[in-house]
Structure 1
Amino acid sequence: MKRPSAPRKTSKPAPAKPTSLATLLTEVRHLIQSARRNVSTIIDTFQVMTNFEIGRRIVEHEQKGAKRAAYGAELLNELSARLTEEFGRGFSRSNLEYMRKFFLEWQKHAPISQTASGKLGGQKIIQTTSGQSALIEISQTPSGEFKRPFTLSWSHYVVLMTIKDPDERSFYEIESAQSNWNVRELKRQKASCLYERLALSRDKEGIRRLAREGQVITRPEDLLKEPLVLEFLGLEDKACYSENDLEQAIINRLEHFLLELGKGFLFEARQKRFTFDEDHYFVDLVFYNRLLRCYVIIDLKLDKLTHQDLGQMQMYVNHYDREVKLPDENPTIGLLLCKSAKKTIVELTLPKDANIHAREYNLYLPSKELLKQKLDEWSAAAARLTPPP
């Protein structure tokens, strides 16, 4: 007798995924990834905003108190002792002085302002009835990015507070945020007098733009510094070294050299060879600047600049413009780095529209006083040449 066959099991079809799930998943994933990237940033922002508010309350308390100079010192000493006992490190008198100074220096220029509703720009202060605690909320945009009332860490602002000139301080704050400098790089750029070196290559309006916007790259002249500082190469200024030694040191410290050159530089080649009539020529260093969309070729010179050096660079630039660059790219920039560059030689040798520049380099950090003196002399000379209105 034939056994009845067991009923065949039929697998249920998998439920169809909603068509909108892919979009939803993408959006949620972006939010989570953005949040994780910003965790450390938010912690820094909370610290900076909290210190700003501590500084505000110290100043407001002082304004209500005695006018004697000793009152402020006694207040900070007592406040430091009480906070350290309750919360531990981070509330020394010197730190409280920084917080006080931070509020005083940034209350007009900080990217936040307090309103009657208790909101501070992209943040909201919610205080309990006891007045002892506050919750700071940071708003998040639909794209998952966080609105940040301050863009740097507290350690950055401590360094910035050592800069007395407000225009110079504003420049370094903007550049630190835009170029993503860590504290060590900020200290290095400050020590190398980047602000003064860029200012020496600009007119008065250009200097004002540095304070308002940082270094904006729209033309070849915006890249130039006077001088370039190459102290990170480790070459002694009085030591005997060759152009090859200098080039090799730059390659060994390429990341630092790119930071010193400025924004948008990409390294392409060293000792780039090309041939004319069976003669070989070599360009020391070839870079590409993605902001200007052009090649930047650099020749290194150990001594003072000569008209032969300028003529050779003109040949290199002509070759790149005619044989290498694409039709939609901008003209090639030639940069001669030398120990001594006389502007008269450059002006007499090259036509006015030549895209070739000579800049001196230093193997040690420059004197801020000397650069300020040069800047004052430049400003005085420019004022004499400017016709009266």
Structure 2
Amino acid sequence: MNDMQTQNDYNSFLAEIKQQIKSSQIRAINSVNKEMILLYFRIGKSINQKQKELGWGAKVIDNLSHDIKSAFPELGGFSVRNIKRMLRFYKEYTQPFEKVPQAVAQMEDEIMPPIVSQIPWSHNVILIEKIKDADLRYWYMQKTLEHGWSRDVLALMIQSQLHKREGKLVSNFKNILAPQDSDLVQQSFKDPYLFDFLTIAEPFLERELESNLIKHMEKFLIELGSGFAFVGRQYKLEVGEDDFYIDLLFYHLKLRCYVVVELKKGKFKPEYSGQVNFYCSAIDGILAHKEDKPTIGLILCQEKNEIVAEYSLRNMSQPIGISEYELTEILPKEFESSLPTIQMIENELKHSLNTMEKEDD
């Protein structure tokens, strides 16, 4: 066996061991998180029982917080606020969700959906505080596990009401893609997309919108959703002897395909579908590998007529979706004149200081 083969064998062996270590670390973290969630649930249950049996009031939580911190000074998570959350946590999950699978985790005489213990405590706190509907909360739990959302991303998705936007775009996916793929692709896109991290004032050009999205690529990718990898801006395609430029090109790691994104200012026009159909076909023929699935087109516009959008896609050969996008609301012109100028603010400040000096005298 030559040295190169030996090195290759070792590298493969090392990669296998590293993967085993990572998997073990993930299992250990999940195990610790589950134990902590169950502990908090039981503490909440115990407090609830004592308050009912002995008539203890909220003061018991203050005492518990103080005494637990004294007994375990190195242990965090037992502030008054967090213990109150434990009590609420228990009360929230004494009954299973209506739409949760029947398999549940039995904890003494109480029932808690097993998915709850798979979510970090900080995520559970956000879900309880932000969402009252139990079934909607479960939906966001599933998405958190599916996409690996951080606490901040989860809060952002709840605030932007992702559940009302996911999979809502007009598309021809069902007509073009295989049945096992079309639903997954549909749910991977939204309508509308919220670009509230941009502050572009009207009038603006499509190229300005594109530039600003590139500047805020991290937030743009979060809004697009998990799986999108940025490939290029104004991506050049040489077809025949002509050059064509795609606004934004991505590769979707989960869908295993390229995604062409065309940004349009104003209202959707039927000819946009033909343009994106051509781009997707060209990407499939020039750039995509044999293992890649068909390139998907996404047209982003400020406004669309649903019926016009549907008709425009009827005879397209490539999978295309049409969504709207929303920018940060700009203060209307008629209100701008009512805002104080810097000079006005400075004058008012001087007047206030003079008044205070006279009162002191």
Fold similarity call, TM over 0.5: yes
Structure 1 residue aligned with 2:50: 61
What letter is aligned with 1:63?
K
Residue in 2 that maps onto 1:73: 58
Q: 1:160 aligns with which of 116, 127, 135?
A: 127
SS, match of residue 246 in structure 1: helix
Q: Does 1:250 align with 2:217?
A: no
Offset at 1:57? 1.0
Equivalent-residue separation in structure 2 for 1:154 and 1:187 (angstroms):
14
Alpha-carbon distance, 1:335 to partner: 0.5
What's the CA shift for 1:290? Answer: 3.1
Taking only the aligned residue pairs, the percentage that are identical comes to: 29
Report the secondary structure of 1:161's partner residue: helix
Task: Provide the rounded CA distance (Å) in 1 between the counterparts of 2:232 and 2:291.
Answer: 21
Specify the code of the residue in structure 2 equivalent to 1:220: V
> In the alignment, which residue of structure 1 is the partner of 2:187?
222
Displacement of 1:334 in angstroms is 0.9
CA 1:362 to 1:107, structure 2 compared with 1: closer, same or farther past 3 Å?
Answer: same
The answer for the alignment partner of 2:81 in structure 1 is 94
Aligned-partner SS, 1:56: helix
1:33-66 per-residue CA deviation (whole Å, 9 max, x = no partner) reads: 6555666655544432321111111122233244
Larger Rg: 1
Aligned pairs (5 A) from 1:93-132: 93-109=80-96, 112-114=105-107
One-letter amino acid of the counterpart of residue 106, structure 2: S
Q: Which moved more, 1:73-82 or 1:168-177?
A: 73-82
Which one of 160, 180, 203 corresponds to residue 148 of structure 2?
180
Consecutive unaligned residues of structure 1, counting only runs of 5 or more, are 1-23, 123-147, 203-215, 366-389
1:306 correspondence with 2:272: no
**Offset at 1:297?**
0.5
Which residue in the other structure is 2:37 paired with?
48
CA deviation after TM superposition for structure 1 residue 283, in Å: 0.6
Q: Which amino acid aligns with 1:50?
A: L
Q: Is the 8 A contact 1:271 1:282 kept in 2?
A: yes
Q: 1:28 to 1:275 in 2, by over 3 A?
A: closer
Give 2:322's match in structure 1, choosing from 339, 344, 358: 358
Q: Deviations over 1:67-97 (max 9, x none)?
A: xxxx543444454454455556743443222
Distance change in 2, residues 1:25/1:317 (3 Å): closer
Report the CA distance between 1:30 and its aligned residue. 6.9
1:295 alignment counterpart: 258
Choose which of 279, 286, 309 in structure 2 pairs with 1:316: 279
- How far did 1:237 drift? 4.6
| TM-score normalised to structure 1 length | 0.64
Task: Note closer, same or farther for the CA distance 1:115–1:92 as it changes in structure 2 (3 Å cut).
Answer: closer
2:277 touches 2:316 (CA, 8 Å); kept in 1?
Answer: no
Task: Report the aligned-residue RMSD.
Answer: 3.7
Distance 1:218 1:292, change over 3 A: farther
Conservation of the 8 A alpha-carbon contact between 1:271 and 1:284: yes
Indicate if the aligned counterparts of 1:48 and 1:150 stay in contact, CA closer than 8 A.
yes
What letter matches 1:154 in structure 2? W
Kindly provide the CA deviation profile for residues 136-180 of structure 1, in whole angstroms up to 9, marking residues without a partner as x.
Answer: xxxxxxxxxxxx982232211111111111122112222222322
Which amino acid is 1:159 matched to?
I
Equivalent position of 1:347 in the other structure: 310
C-alpha distance 301-291 of structure 1, shift in aligned 2 (>3 A): same
Q: Is the 8 A contact 1:218 1:292 kept in 2?
A: no
Alpha carbons of 1:217 and 1:50: their partners in 2 closer, same or farther (altered >3 Å)? farther
Whether the 8 Å contact between 2:259 and 2:297 is mirrored in structure 1 is yes
> Using the alignment, how far apart are the partners of 1:238 and 1:174 within structure 2?
37
Comparing both structures, which one devotes a greater share of its residues to helix? 2
Write the letter of the residue equivalent to 1:336: I
Q: Does 1:267 align with 2:230?
A: yes
How far the C-alpha of 1:340 sits from its partner, in A, is 1.2
Contact (CA 8 Å) 1:287, 1:295: kept in 2 or not?
A: yes
Secondary structure in structure 2 of the residue aligned to 1:150: helix
Deviation at 1:269, TM superposition (A): 2.3
User: Per the alignment, do residues 28 and 84 of structure 1 end up closer, same or farther by CA in structure 2, a change over 3 Å counting?
Assistant: same
User: Structure 2, unaligned stretches of length 5 or more?
Assistant: 1-12, 98-103, 171-180, 330-361
3-state SS, counterpart of residue 190 of structure 1: helix
For these two proteins, the number of residue pairs brought into alignment is 296
- In the aligned structure 2, how far is the partner of 1:236 from the partner of 1:85? 50
Q: Is the 8 A contact 1:217 1:223 kept in 2?
A: no
Q: Are residues 34 and 277 of structure 1, via their aligned partners in 2, closer, same or farther at CA, if it must alter by over 3 Å?
A: closer
Answer yes or no: is the 8 Å Cα contact 1:45–1:150 preserved in 2: yes
Give, in whole Å, the separation in 1 of the partners of 2:15 and 2:167: 46
The Cα of 1:26 is off from its aligned counterpart by 10
The one-letter code matched in structure 2 to 1:98 is R
